[in-house]
A and B are shown apart, each in its own frame.
Chain A
Amino acid sequence: MAKKYGMIHDENLCIGCQACSIACRSENDIPESVYRLQVRVLGPKKLPDGNMIFEFHRQSCVHCENTPCVTVCPTGASFVDENGISLVNTDICVGCLYCNAACPYDARFVNPITHAPDKCTFCKESRLGRGEEPACVSVCPTEAIVFGDINDPTSKISKVLSQRPTYHQRADLGTEPKMFIVPNKKGGIQS
Chain B
Amino acid sequence: MNPIWGSMEQYNPIVWPWPIAVYLFLAGLSAGSIMVALLVKWNRHEGEHNTIWDAMVKAGAILAPVTIIVGLLLLIFDLKKPFDFYWLLISYNFTSVMTLGVLALFVYTPIVLIFMLLIFEDTIRKVKLFSMLIPVIEFIKGFHSYAKIIEYSLFGIAIVVGAYTGFLLSAIQANPMWNTPVLPLLFLTSGVSAGIAANILVGLMFFKSSINKESIKYLLVMDLRVIMTELPLILVLFVGMMYTGGDSLVAAKQALSTGYWAKVFWFGVIGVGLVLPLIIAFTALRNHAYKVGYIMINSFVVLCGVMMLRFYIVYAGQLFTGV
Contacts and interface: CB of A to CB of B under 8 A. Distances in A.
Say if the two chains contact directly (CB < 8 Å): yes
Given A92-B87, A102-B174, A115-B80, A72 B5 contact: no
A54 B88 contact: no
A112 to B, nearest CB: 10
Interface of B: 1, 3-7, 9-11, 15-16, 79-82, 84-85, 87-88, 91-93, 95-99, 102, 171-175, 246-247, 318, 323
Query: Chain B CB within 10 Å — which of A21, A96, A98 has the most?
Result: A96
Contacts of B16: 97, 101
Interface stretch (A3-11, A38-46, A126-134, A155-163): A38-46
Interface in A84-126: 92-98, 100-104, 106, 109-110, 115-116
B144 to A, nearest CB: 36
B1 A41 contact: yes
A88 B95 CA distance: 17
Interface of A: 16, 18, 21, 33-35, 38-44, 54, 59, 68, 70-77, 92-98, 100-104, 106, 109-110, 115-116, 170, 172-173
Given A42-B1, A59-B5, A170-B323, A98 B10 contact: no
Given A21-B5, A41-B4, A74 B172 contact: no
A75 B4 contact: no
A134 to B, nearest CB: 18
A92 B4 CA distance: 35
Nearest to B98: A74
A71 B100 CA distance: 12
A75 B103 CA distance: 12
A124 B174 CA distance: 27
A34 B80 contact: no
A92 to B, nearest CB: 5
B84 A95 contact: yes
Nearest to A95: B80
A35 B10 contact: yes
Given A74-B98, A77-B91, A173-B174, 18 more contacts: A16-B4, A33-B7, A35-B6, A40-B5, A41-B5, A71-B95, A74-B88, A76-B93, A95-B84, A96-B79, A101-B15, A101-B16, A101-B172, A102-B172, A103-B174, A104-B174, A116-B80, A173-B173
Contacts of A75: 87-88, 91-93, 99
B174 A110 contact: no
A102 B92 contact: no
A95 B75 CA distance: 11
Contacts of A98: 96, 98
A35 to B, nearest CB: 6
A93 B173 CA distance: 22
B15 A97 contact: yes
24 contacts: A21-B6, A33-B9, A35-B7, A40-B5, A41-B1, A41-B5, A71-B95, A72-B97, A72-B172, A73-B96, A74-B98, A75-B93, A76-B93, A77-B91, A92-B87, A94-B85, A96-B88, A97-B80, A100-B15, A101-B174, A102-B171, A102-B172, A104-B173, A110-B10
